[in-house]
Structure 1
C-alpha cells in the first residue's frame, strides 16, 4: 500500500533501509503525512531489520511502538532506516529514523517486538 522498496539490508549490522514514495493521498493539511503512516513506515523498516538476523524467523509482532515527530513529514520520497539494538531468542528491541528527500530527519521510532520463529 505504501509502495516500499528495499534500498539496503545489512545482516551483520542488523539494519534495513527502505524508500517510500508517498503521495498526498496519505496526507492531511495538504502535504503532511498522517502520523499513522509515518509509524507504519518505521514499523516496516524496524521489523525487516529483525528478519535478516536468522533464517528461521517467520514474523515479528510489535508489542509496543513509540514514534517521535521532529519535523513535518511531507509527501514525496522518504528514506526509512531500521536497526536492531538488542535481540534475544523471542524479543527484539529496534529503532528507526525517517528522512525526507533533503535528508532532514523528520521522525524517530522505537519498538519492542515478539520474534516468531518457524518450528
Structure 2
C-alpha cells in the first residue's frame, strides 16, 4: 500500500503512536475522515487473552483527533475533552483498524466519531469524543 500524504507527515512520530503501532492507511482531509492501523500486541492483553479496553480507548482517541488535524491541514490540534467508548466485541491480538470522522467543528470544540474493527471487519468498539480546537503552533510549540 502506498503512503497517503497528510499534514501529519510534518509531525515527529510520538511515543504513543509507536506503542500502539499507529499507521495512516487512508485519509480524506476535505471530508475530515481518516483510516489508521494499530497493532494489538501481546503486552496489551487482559487475562482472557483479549486487548484490554483501555488500549482500545487509546486507539479510538488516536483515530478521532487526527481527523481534525488533517482536515485543518495541520492548523488545529485537538486535546480531548471527553471520550465515550462502547466495547462491542472482544479484540484479539493482531491488526486493528480505526476510522475517524469529524462530525462538526465550532469555534472552539470539535465533535468526533470513531470505529475500531478487527482484521475480519468485526466492529470491536466505537466511540465519540469532543475536543478543544487549539492552534497547532501553540499546542505543539
Q: Same fold, TM exceeding 0.5? A: yes
2:124 corresponds to: 106
1:52 offset after TM fit, Å?
Answer: 1.4
Runs of at least 4 residues of structure 1 off by over 3 A?
Answer: none
Task: Indicate if the aligned counterparts of 1:82 and 1:95 stay in contact, CA closer than 8 A.
Answer: yes
Does residue 65 (structure 1) correspond to residue 92 (structure 2)? The answer is no
Structure 2 stretches of 5 or more lacking a match? 1-18
User: Between Structure 1 and Structure 2, which shows a larger proportion of helix residues?
Assistant: 2
1:53 offset after TM fit, Å?
Answer: 1.9
User: Between Structure 1 and Structure 2, which shows a larger proportion of strand residues?
Assistant: 1
Aligned residues: 118
Structure 1 stretches of 5 or more lacking a match? none
1:31 offset after TM fit, Å?
Answer: 2.4
1:113 offset after TM fit, Å?
Answer: 0.2
Calculate the TM-score normalised by the size of structure 2: 0.80
Please provide the CA RMSD for this pair.
1.2
1:12 corresponds to: 30
Calculate the TM-score normalised by the size of structure 1: 0.94
